[in-house]
Structure 1
Amino acid sequence: MHGEFCKVGLKFCKIEYIFKDKLNKKNLLFILLPLVIVFLSKVVCQAYPGIPEEVRIGLYFNDSKTKQYTAVSSFTIDGETGLKIGSYTADGFVKLIEETTGNALTIKKDESYHAKLADNFDSFEALEQKLDEYISNGIDAYPVFADTWQIWCGFYKDENGMKAELGGVVEFSAVSPSATRIVVFDSKGKVKLMYDSLKGALRIYPKEGKNPALFRINGDSKKVYRGGIEVLRQAESDMTVINVLPLEEYLYGVVPGEIEASSHPEALKAQAVAARTYTVNNLSKYKHLNFNLCSTTYSQVYKGYSVEHPATNKAVDDTRGEIVTYNGKPAEVYYFSSSGGKTEDVKNVWGSSGYPYLVSVDDPYESGNSWHYNWQVSYTAQKIGEIMAQRGYNIGNILGIYITKRSEAGRATELVVKGSKGEQVYKNSNTRSFLSLDSQWYEITTDSDVSVLAQDGSTVNSQLNGKKVLTASGLETVNTSSSISLAGSDDAKRKVPSVPTVYTFTGKGWGHAVGMSQEGAKGMAKAGFTYKEILTHYFTGTEVE
């Protein structure tokens, strides 16, 4: 018996075969059987097709759709072994120049006039001699790549300033400001390269020499990344900065930001597969800005190399190429911190339909001590009114807040807030977001609640405003001006405000509760479940492939 490894897609499958010197009918079956195993192994071990090698992650950009405005007019970049600066087109990356030291380069958008001194050089090397001649004659010349190599000089506010300085000194032609032009300065403030290509995008990669090859932005140790960056000038915007890197290496910088690296390995693998699936499903989210995903909570939080951990990197590697599928297609996966014991159907959160795998499931493996498993927060009626007014809902003084509908899992799906000028109805996830509560699963109590004896003998909490009560003067309706004094079962009297002044929300779980609970995944892993069992529990009827 002999074993060897066969590389199939992104997986390695061990296959075994029997080698015989003589072939006869008796051992023919033993030879054919391993051939069938080899064929089946290719099916089982192949990663899901269609997963791209690279992803484009927006680090700085302006987006009116999500109201994210982080585009920059300048930034610095450095690599320990130097940098390669080039142009990226449909044909790939072409290196233009290098920064051979570890010094930082400054990248700026350019909006000036310039003087063109010479053009139509085939390469940087071809213009170097002419460039040196201009510089030796006291002209501050620099190389330009504008789909051909050129030599320019100066930064001017207008053509008049250009003529005043260069007229009679050197022959030149004026170059007007451009909405796409980017300039690269060296560490001494001299122009390393002016880039104004209409056919490609400016790309910068760290030079090889370190493994992994890394670069840093703005000298910040928390902004260290793999891969490279692409710099674009979008319409009516500062520069868009995009991290271009292998998808699997992108996940290295995502998974540890979503789950603690100290978690059980199977929980880490479940998170890695969920994050990869989310990535595959959202590759077109920022297509209008020429990248796939952003680095914030609007996509998945991505912090690059600075947060990588061997345990989470291993989880990504061990599940390489695997995603959650439903009926053979990538599933829409979501994850959150804590369910409080039961996840929620997507229709009761975002009103979505057609996702039979995003339904409510029991979550018994969450620890009751997990983060925000139980929570409580209080607001004054005045504060609630102020928050609602800031968000465009001015309904006057808050008179009452009532949960009018719940899901089968127990979460609020309709909430009515009554005010002196009207009322506001919130549904599904808005029953949580209207006060930025931890979850939709909560009860409301107030400082005006009283316990009322029901006909069946049970007691229920109720607010008296609007209720009819029997007083010494007869049956009266409690209103906002009523002053109420109650006698308890012990005959002790206490005053109760007819309208609540304080609302207390007591709930369970943290997050939207759709899909995989990260705290639940940790609990399932500790209980002996594999990452595939964890994922198929939270995403009903799915497979991991």
Structure 2
Amino acid sequence: MNFLKKFIILVFMGMTFIIILSLIMVGGQSSGNGLSEFIVKSKNIIFKNSSENSAKIKIYMTKEKKIKEMDLDEYVLGVVAGEMPAEFPEEALKAQAVAARTFGAAHMEAYGGKKYKSNTGADVCDTVECQVFQSKEDRMKAWPKEKAEEYWNKMEQAVKATSGQVLSYKGKLVMEPYYFAVSGGKTENSEDVFKNGEGYLKSVESPGEESAKKYKTSIKLTYENFVDRVNSYYPNSGLSAANLTAQVNIGDRTEGGAVKEIKLGSVTISGTKFRSVMGLNSANFTIYFKDQVYIQCLGYGHRVGMSQWGANAMAEDGKTYVQILSHYYTGISLKKVTSFLR
């Protein structure tokens, strides 16, 4: 009898173990509630996050003159390919991916954004008016054949590694995730360049950009050409080549180094307008009068937000994409774009 009781107990315990193990295996799988699921394998447990449906983005393809709809991350991959050199470290590419994804979401009504100004009905376009977007086919044609696949895979990995991540400031989606090529050493406060100031767009140091081709550039003009160019925009300036040095005066500068105002004879204009008149790379310029007029610039672009070459320098120095983004966008945090769905 004792033997029979022991046998029954052992059988019961074995069956109980099998039932409990089965419940664990089934219960661990997703029940559609968005929670993490796990799959039990022989050697390990793999955690897998359930995917959330994100809104599609509509891009106006300029050459084709039609709207193309795609997943947001597919769009981001094309923007990273079009906006940042493939030679940059992956952490810099990741930072670019997050900034590009934020820009896309900020122009989608599904996330509380506004479409770019056009009559196309698209959320964004594929040119510098929004963000440059390039298809895999077009981008790979421009790369060396022996490097093309490697470069594309590198960018694809950067987008996948940051999938769904966007910039958030004080719990809201960042609507102005500005970025540009080269700062020349320091970025600008947004209010010094654009109409509105944003708390996350503050002037910060941006070292290590000196290797960029457009870190420092210059142009030269004859005194007569300088006067003609200004007078074509401001005919009442009263500038004359004979008395030019006394008629041109640079006023105050911004915290980031850009010229706030410049006096040209009887008119005073902003540094950004002068940049446009002269076709300069940035508003951080200095003017020298010698045998000709020499204008030297630091940086390339509006210099607000993230410097791409600065991101490259930080990544080369071992910084992560989160550190890069936190440096250039003051007070931000990263959130999933789906948390902003309306």
Fold match, TM over 0.5? Answer: yes
Q: 2:15 corresponds to which residue?
A: none
Residues 417-440 of structure 1: CA deviation (Å, up to 9, x unaligned):
11xxxx222225224222121112
User: 1:117-158, CA deviations, whole angstroms, 9 ceiling, x for partnerless residues?
Assistant: xxxxxxxxxxxxxxxxxxxxxxxxxxxxxxxxxxxxxxxxxx
Runs of 4+ in structure 1 deviating by more than 6 angstroms, as ranges, are: 2-10, 14-17
Greater strand percent: which structure?
1
The AA in structure 1 aligned to 2:256 is: A
Deviation at 1:396, TM superposition (A): 4.6
Residue identity over aligned pairs, in percent, reads 31
**For residue 336 of structure 1, what is the aligned residue in structure 2?**
180
Matched, 1:279 2:104: yes
Partner of 1:408: 255
Determine the C-alpha separation between the residues in 1 that align with 2:276 and 2:235.
14
Shift of 1:268: 0.4
Whether 1:513 aligns to 2:297 is: no
- Alignment RMSD: 3.2
Q: Pairwise mapping of residues 180-191 of structure 1 onto structure 2 (< 5 A)?
A: none
Query: For the structure 1 residues 433 and 46, does the alpha-carbon distance in structure 2 shift closer, same or farther, using more than 3 Å as the test?
Result: farther
List alignment gaps of at least 5 residues for structure 2: 1-23, 41-46, 109-114, 141-151, 336-342
User: Is residue 212 of structure 2 the alignment partner of residue 370 of structure 1?
Assistant: yes
Q: 1:56: which partner in 2? A: 58
Superposition deviation, residue 316 in structure 1: 1.4
**Contact kept in structure 2, 1:382 and 1:397, CA below 8 Å:** no
Q: Which letter maps to 1:313?
A: E
SS where residue 58 of structure 1 aligns? strand
Q: 2:169 aligns with which of 305, 310, 326?
A: 326
Matched to 1:395, the amino acid is S
2:281 matches 1:438: yes
Which one-letter code corresponds to 1:534 in the other structure?
I
Q: 1:363–1:520: 8 Å Cα contact kept in structure 2?
A: yes
Task: Tell me how far apart the structure 2 counterparts of residues 320 and 7 of structure 1 sit (CA, whole Å).
Answer: 23
Letter in 1 for 2:326: T
Contact 2:81 2:134 in 1 (8 A): no
Gaps of 5+ in 1: 18-37, 61-69, 71-216, 218-239, 448-500
What is the distance in 2 between the residues matched to 1:412 and 1:286?
29
**2:75 alignment counterpart:** 250
Larger Rg: 1
Q: Higher relative contact order at CA 8 Å, sep ≥6: structure 1 or structure 2?
A: 2
Say whether the 8 Å CA contact 2:253–2:260 is kept in structure 1: yes
Give the distance between the partners of 1:402 and 1:506, measured in 2 at CA: 15
AA matched with 1:254? V
The answer on 1:297 being equivalent to 2:128 is: yes
SS of the residue corresponding to residue 57 of structure 2 reads strand
Q: State whether residues 343 and 363 of structure 1, in contact with CA within 8 Å, keep that contact through their aligned partners in structure 2.
A: yes
2:186 and 2:33 map into 1 onto residues whose CA distance is 38
Task: Determine helix, strand or coil for the equivalent of 2:69.
Answer: strand
TM-score w.r.t. length of structure 2: 0.73
Q: CA deviation at 1:16?
A: 9.5
Tell me by how many angstroms 1:8 deviates: 9.3
- Residues 280/397 of structure 1: CA separation in 2 closer, same or farther (3 Å cut): same
**Secondary structure of the corresponding residue to residue 445 of structure 1:** strand
> What residue number does 2:44 align with?
none
Amino acid aligned to 2:162:
T
Q: 1:393 to 1:46 in 2, by over 3 A?
A: farther
Judging changes above 3 Å, is the alpha-carbon distance between structure 1 residues 393 and 271 closer, same or farther for their aligned structure 2 residues? farther
Preserved contact between residue 7 and residue 13 of structure 1 (Cα < 8 Å): no
Give the aligned partner of residue 534 of structure 1.
Answer: 324
Q: Residue type of the partner of 2:89?
A: H
Tell me, in whole angstroms, the C-alpha distance in 2 between the residues paired with 1:320 and 1:341: 30
